[in-house]
A and B are shown apart, each in its own frame.
Chain A
Amino acid sequence: MSGRPQPVEGRLTAREAGLVGCRRCSKVWPLDTQLCGRCGATLRSRDTTSISRVWAWWVLGVAAYIPANLYPMLRTQTLVETQEATIVGGAIELMQHGSYGIAIVILVASVLIPVAKFLCIAFLAMSSQSATPVSASARQQLYEIVEYVGRWSMIDVFVVAILASLVQLDYAATVNPGPASLSFALSVIFTMLSAQAFDSRIIWDGIERSTPHAPRDPQPTEGSPTP
């Protein structure tokens, strides 16, 4: 038996076939079914509230990201001095100490990924409502990357947590978390919720209407075959 998913003759999507697919467990039901009988998830052929929820979380995410960059993330006290470092300030300091690798990890996780994520989600939400030159498969890939990478921004919050619990050496050195840690964590959470609210099936709607019933070759399977 082959592992190829067989397309259903003449029917491209569950919706065109008068059916609705469960996004949680992939089971297929008649279009007017409300709840998935297998996993209990709410069934929606297309989530019509998706885009407005995406934007709502997106706005909260951006709003929380601004104070995250203005206020200090860490407050370090040693015998000689007290330092407060913002996200970018902390990374610059690391570079001055010669730890370029770690500085880059912090900058990527705390600046590059969040900003790129805001832009990507905004693009995906806008392009699902109007025409775009970017192909559906490219947008699907973009969506998957955004969903996968977004969580990693949490690194900096965890670093602060570890440092603050570990570096409590009375007068020698203490590290305490700054207010930016909370707004940064909230920004990451809101942006994750924004990405999760997006119904990726919208990307594909209307894409192949111009060439209905085009023959599609099932994708060959990957992985090592068992003996």
Chain B
Amino acid sequence: MTQKITHTDDLIACHGCDALYRVQMPEHGQRAICSRCHTVLVAPRRRAGMTIVMLSLGVVILVFGALWFPFLEISRSGFHNSATLIDSALAFTDGPLLILSLSVAAFIILIPLMRVMLILYVLWPVVFDRPPNKSAATAFRLAEALRPWSMAEIFAIGCAVALVKVADLAQIGFGPAFYMFAALVVIIAVQDNQMCRWSIWQSLDETDRQA
């Protein structure tokens, strides 16, 4: 009974528990879930590719806007200061703390920006029915590896905490960049929700074979 399985194209292995399944594409909006460990295997969305491309463009624009404008403003007894997002990222300037500055800048700006650019590079040709870019697989693998290190939403909560902390020390105002950053956090969350990893890998595979 244990003949060797030679045809593996229609198989999918759960990355959580290694359970083996035959792929059956669920309908749009539905999800195929591993019956053993409940990891989501496939979750296609209608017109997801185009939606993700548009949202990614939105994120790129918002990141540059959020970098340009003042982020938060503060005043106390005649003294006034405003900080941009870059100021916040580069707040640790003392010797060894500089490393921390660079990683904060990476976590809240560089990595989120890099991820959407990589995703645009991967999905743009797919959405417009062109053959995928040469290093699309490498790019998407990198985008996936960077996912846990993209911390824009955590920084947003950090802002809320920081504001309460200074509330009794000084008056605070929100700059335009603050609202842009808030919008950016929401868009990244929506985009992540639209993204079915398996479908994207599959589309790269298929377009590859036709070419």
Contact = CB atoms under 8 A, between A and B. Distances in A.
A4 B21 CA distance: 9
A29 B8 contact: yes
Interface residues of A, number: 90
Contacts of B42: 3, 5
B121 interface: no
Nearest to A26: B12
Contact of A159 (B2, B4, B151, B165): B165
B91 A160 contact: yes
A169 interface: yes
B176 interface: no
B8 A177 contact: no
Interface in A140-187: 140, 147, 151-152, 154-173, 176-177, 179, 181-182, 185
A209 interface: no
Interface residues of B, number: 88
A203 B100 CA distance: 35
Interface in A180-213: 181-182, 185, 189, 192, 196, 200-201, 203-204
B144 A24 contact: yes
Contact of A39 (B13, B20, B164, B201): B201
B28 A226 contact: yes
B197 A5 contact: no
B103 A185 contact: yes
Nearest to A139: B37
Given A26-B13, A200-B16, A6 B21 contact: yes
B13 A3 contact: no
B89 A166 contact: no
B81 interface: yes
Contacts of A223: 29-31, 43
Nearest to A93: B165
Contact of A161 (B15, B78, B89): B89
Contacts of A53: none
20 contacts: A4-B24, A5-B23, A5-B32, A5-B34, A17-B20, A19-B8, A20-B13, A21-B20, A26-B14, A39-B137, A154-B151, A155-B157, A157-B100, A158-B159, A162-B72, A173-B76, A185-B103, A218-B35, A219-B38, A223-B43
